[in-house]
A and B are shown apart, each in its own frame.
Chain A
Amino acid sequence: MEAFTAHTGTAAPLRRSNVDTDQIIPAEYLKRITRHGFEDALFASWRKDPEFVLNLPQYQDVSILITGPDFGTGSSREHAVWALQDYGFKVVLSSRFADIFRGNSGKGGLLTAVIPQTAIETLWEIIESSPNTPITVDLQDRKVTAGEYSCDFEVDDYVRWRLLEGLDDIGITLEQADAIDEFEKSRPSFKPVLTSSP
């Protein structure tokens, strides 16, 4: 995974709460077996509306999404993260993310930064009146800056460390291979196993 230290880009306001992963990427796009190529699937049904924020001329080429509370609820589909990234998003800002979505984002290198809803409202006003305002999200300092305005954001310490270093989770875990071997020796015999096919 590529390391993430800071990102500067323009942002789009998504004035909705409870944006579930079925909205981020509808189920029909989950038939694909690749990890990329989901840009057309992002918010597919909302994007049919010409007034939808990502269709407005002032929000083309955005890389930061600023959204209402409870973003990413519902299905565990990691395709939601891939679709956001394929579209060009590097950061999502919200006052609250659903757990599985936030976990998936951390694995894929999409930064989900938590700021209070009042800060979300302020940023919405800034980018609605001046859509070209560059916004900087600094993971090192945990700070969001938009012109004169700035605020601190929250991010899980472990996720932050992994993103800053660009580390691969599986690689980290495999360093514990001996501990896993050891644990397996003491598992009770009554736990179910499947006989693997030859």
Chain B
Amino acid sequence: MGRTLAEKVWSDHVVHEGDGLPDLLYIDLHLIHEVTSPQAFDGLRAAGRPLRRPDLTVATEDHNIPTVDVDKPIADPVSRIQVETLRKNCEEFRVTLFPLGDVEQGIVHVVGPQMGLTQPGMTIVCGDSHTSTHGAFGALAFGIGTSEVEHVMATQTLPLKPFKTMAITVEGDLPVGVTSKDIILAVIAKIGTAGGQGYVLEYRGSAIKALSMEGRMTICNMSIEAGARAGMVAPDATTFEYIKGKSHAPQGSDWEAAVAYWETLVTDPDARFDKEITFDASTLRPFVTWGTNPGQGLPLDQVVPDPQSYTDPVERAAIESALAYMDLRPGQPLKEIPIDTVFLGSCTNGRIEDLRAAAHVIKNRKVADGVRLLVVPGSTRVRLEAESEGLDQIFLDAGAEWRGAGCSMCLAMNSDKLNPGERSASTSNRNFEGRQGPGGRTHLVSPEVAAATAVRGTLSAPADLVEV
């Protein structure tokens, strides 16, 4: 019988078959950042173990850094110690680091692809759950905890049980104004936040094939919000084109060999998935979350749901508590929800195409009175590219704040936070209670919806804007 993409990549990395125990899997690339690594480095030191492959390890500063005054020492002393600890550890263990101020610095899942380090058929891990992003290239990429970070540092392997496989097929043409973010929010709403648990999701079908690499990354990024550790898209000409010429792309005869291998990385026609789900792209609409987990979403033209119409007591209680936290009432049209802050950024939607799409919507328009629009590029390279295209000026003219690169208000570890009770429309991936600041309320949206919302002051799609 044929094999799926995920099974092919898996079997090409088995160092030792488990025979009932987990397989030992070789890891091609280990990405590191300041928050989930210090205790792992301490563990190595305590055990007197070396870091096995510094040349397959790369670090950046992203979660806990400021996005203003990035040329000055970090003001928060606790954050500064964490970032300095990463710098010391990388020096001691000879790991390449892209610190604040470096052109390659940025969110770890933006950095890998932009340098060409993320390639088809690789195994990629990071102490961060959105490592699933890299699956857009046909890599098997997933988030790990700090103990596993230490394990990979010491051995360049991980003991793992094989995942099950799920095909998510999206066929047809996306309507105008509907984006990859809307696809993935609709998928999560359908299968639920635990629907992908134990699976690798493979996104396929004509609507996925038609997406750019950045669109595919947005989708794979949020596989974890559907409960799956990894999501993948089979590599194709779009993938090869994106990688070609990047600083770590294979060169010369290596390029030919690599592409020849990459072309084999497709699910065989006779392969079987453990589960299959199909979506019709032509029926999708701009999507937004109303609750406190990413599965609680609806098309933007709908109303806030009524908990009374749910029979499952666990689900009803979850909706009731979400509505109480979000301060929403059943039946309220989503488009009438007023927003205080719009956050454009994160590893989900902080890439150049996202900034272009939002800039296109907001050009010659103004951010509504009383609304704050924060634009945080996913990496310094993205920021510089946007500036060379004049996107920064479009945002600034509209009344937005233009920031340095990092995770910023996606997780609110730095000073970019919502105030208690404040409500955001955010292009990030998590609408958990307090995720963007204690007491803050989050609605997840696409970059286009974020920009339109900033202009109107309530959740809105670009189609809701008056012509300028």
Contacts and interface: CB of A to CB of B under 8 A. Distances in A.
**Most central of A68, A76, A108, A177 by chain B CB within 10 Å:** A76
Contact of A96 (B54, B194, B435): B194
A190 B326 CA distance: 50
Contacts of B85: 33
A36 to B, nearest CB: 9
B328 interface: no
Interface string A166-198: 000110111011011001100111111111111
A134 interface: no
B35 A174 contact: no
B64 A76 contact: no
B438 A68 contact: no
Contacts of B55: 193-196
A75 B129 contact: yes
A28 interface: yes
B154 A73 contact: no
Interface stretch (B15-23, B282-290, B353-361): B15-23
Interface residues on A, range: 35 or more
A192 B248 contact: yes
B24 interface: yes
Nearest to B22: A158
Contact of B15 (A22, A104, A176): A176
A188 B79 CA distance: 39
Interface stretch (B142-150, B209-217, B297-305, B329-337): B142-150
B81 interface: yes
A127 interface: no
Interface stretch (A13-21, A84-92, A136-144): A13-21
A154 B148 CA distance: 23
A103 B39 CA distance: 17
A73 B293 CA distance: 9
A76 B36 contact: yes
Interface string A58-84: 000000000011100111111101000
B81 A33 contact: yes
Contacts of A22: 411, 430, 432-435
Given A31-B64, A188-B261, A73 B193 contact: yes
B205 interface: no
A169 B56 contact: no
Interface string B107-148: 000000000110100100001110000000000000111111
A18 B293 contact: yes
Given A22-B430, A170-B150, A191 B122 contact: yes
Interface in B262-290: none
Contacts of B433: 22-23, 45
Contacts of A195: 55, 96
B318 A76 contact: no
B424 interface: no
B412 A27 contact: yes
B187 to A, nearest CB: 16
A34 interface: yes
Nearest to B128: A76
Interface in B405-440: 411-413, 430, 432-435, 438-439
A68 B314 contact: yes
A88 B229 CA distance: 28
Given A33-B38, A69-B194, A180-B157, A196 B94 contact: yes
B371 to A, nearest CB: 24
B96 A197 contact: yes
A158 B21 contact: yes
Contacts of A198: 94
A45 B438 contact: yes
A27 B229 CA distance: 21
A190 B258 contact: yes
Nearest to A30: B35
A188 B257 contact: yes
Nearest to A98: B227
Contact of A100 (B21, B96, B144, B150): B144
A103 to B, nearest CB: 6
Contacts of B64: 30-31
Given A22-B435, A23-B433, 4 more contacts: A69-B194, A108-B147, A192-B116, A196-B94
Interface of B: 15-16, 20-22, 24, 26, 28-29, 35-36, 38-39, 42, 47, 49, 54-58, 63-64, 76, 78-79, 81-82, 85, 91, 94-96, 116-117, 119, 122, 127-129, 143-148, 150-151, 154-157, 159, 161, 193-194, 197-198, 224, 227, 229, 248, 250, 254-255, 257-258, 261, 292-293, 314-315, 317-318, 321, 411-413, 430, 432-435, 438-439
Interface of A: 15-18, 20, 22-23, 26-28, 30-35, 45, 68-70, 73-79, 81, 96, 98-100, 103-104, 107-108, 117, 156-158, 169-170, 172-174, 176-177, 179-180, 183-184, 187-198
5 contacts: A22-B434, A31-B76, A31-B81, A104-B146, A191-B119
